[in-house]
Amino acid sequence: MESAIVSRRQPEVILPDRLSLQIYQVIRHKIVYGELRQGQRLSLPDLAQEFGTSRMPLREALMRLENDRLVVSKPRSGTYVAEITIQDIEEICGIRKAIEWFATAEATKRMPRTVMRRLLDEVNAADEAIKEGNYMPFFESDLNLHRSIVEYSGNSRMLNIRDSIEPYVEWLRVAGATSTTNTKGASARHRQILETMIAGDIEGASKLAAIHVDEVCAWTVIDFDKIS
């Protein structure tokens, strides 16, 4: 007969590093999607109560967020949600343009046509969702397309650079480019890039990718000026 000790289901133990990652992901989501406002002070006691944890995992999570430049730590004052600046937008766009131009050319050579067509299907589905006022499929399609292109470039260091700025890119994507005009324009350009990749036009696809980043940067600056 199986003993009670052996048969009893043991409670799951959440390791400290895993807990800090979970907290990081929750706070990051709240910042990106506007639940925590730009410039808002983050109270450690309040966060500890919200997550039911000690301050150590919170500090580790906030350090990750500071590394992402989503929060800033001010001496003798505390930790605050960062505030987007024009310089931030221009720096991120410059990095993205260099990455996308090179990666799209390489991905056109390496990415299977079946993957390109699947990404195109996602773009088309996102367009339909936008018509209903649902932007989430667009955000997901946008993220998946650009990450897939860099993944298929075959350059792991470039992927690391891209991943290091992605939290801020996602924040800009949501905070500054959510109008129907901008999302439709971005989807149209995504479609054009993928169709050019499917056709095997390496130079054309990479040029379109660079143009796309310039367009998104311009839209984001315009939207930033409206809300700042």
Per-residue model confidence as pLDDT tens digits over 176-190: 655 667 888 899 999
Is residue 72 located within the same domain as residue 136? no
181 and 90 co-located in one domain: yes
pLDDT confidence band for 20 (50 / 70 / 90):
very high
Q: What DSSP element (H or E) covers 49?
A: helix 44-51
When the pLDDT of each residue in the chain is averaged and rounded to a whole number, the result is 88
- Identify each DSSP E strand in the chain by its residue range: 41-42, 71-74, 78-81
**16, 57 in Cβ contact below 8 A?**
yes
Q: What is the pLDDT of residue 228?
A: 57
Residues 145 and 90 in one domain: yes
Residues 159 and 116 in one domain: yes
Residue 63, domain member (yes or no) = yes
pLDDT above 70 (res 11)? no
Judge if 101 and 201 occupy the same domain.
yes
**Residue 197's domain spans which residues?**
86-227
CA distance 61 to 25: 8
* Residue 8 resides in a domain: no
Let me know: does 143 contact 170? Beta carbons within 8 Å. Answer: yes
Note whether 75 and 122 are same-domain residues: no
Q: Is residue 30 part of a domain?
A: yes
CA distance 33 to 175: 7
Structure tokens at 61: 């999570």
Residue 31 belongs to a domain: yes
Residue 116 sits in the same domain as residue 164: yes
d(CA 97, CA 103): 10
**Does any domain span residue 166?**
yes
- Whichever domain contains 97, its CATH number is 1.20.120.530
132 with 149, same domain: the answer is yes
Model pLDDT, residue 226: 62
Per the domain annotation, does 11 fall within a domain? Answer: no
Distance of CA 83 to the CA centre of its chain: 17
Task: Give the tens place of pLDDT for each residue, 122-171.
Answer: 999 999 998 888 888 998 999 999 999 999 999 999 999 999 999 998 88
Give the pLDDT confidence score for residue 14 in this predicted structure: 43
pTM: 0.80
Q: Quickly list DSSP for 95-132.
A: HHHHHHHHHHHHHHHHS-HHHHHHHHHHHHHHHHHHHT
pLDDT at residue 84 greater than cutoff 50? yes
Distance CA 30, CA 146 (A): 23
Look-up of token digits 């796309």:
212
Backbone angles phi, psi at 73, to 5 degrees: -105, 125
Residues 64 and 46 in one domain: yes
Closest CA to 126 of 151, 106, 143: 143
Residue 138 domain flag: yes
Q: What percent of the chain has pLDDT over 70?
A: 88
Name the domain count of the chain.
2
What's the pLDDT tens digit per position in 28-71? 999 998 899 999 999 999 999 999 988 899 999 999 999 999 99
Residue that finishes a domain, picked among 81, 105, 135: 81
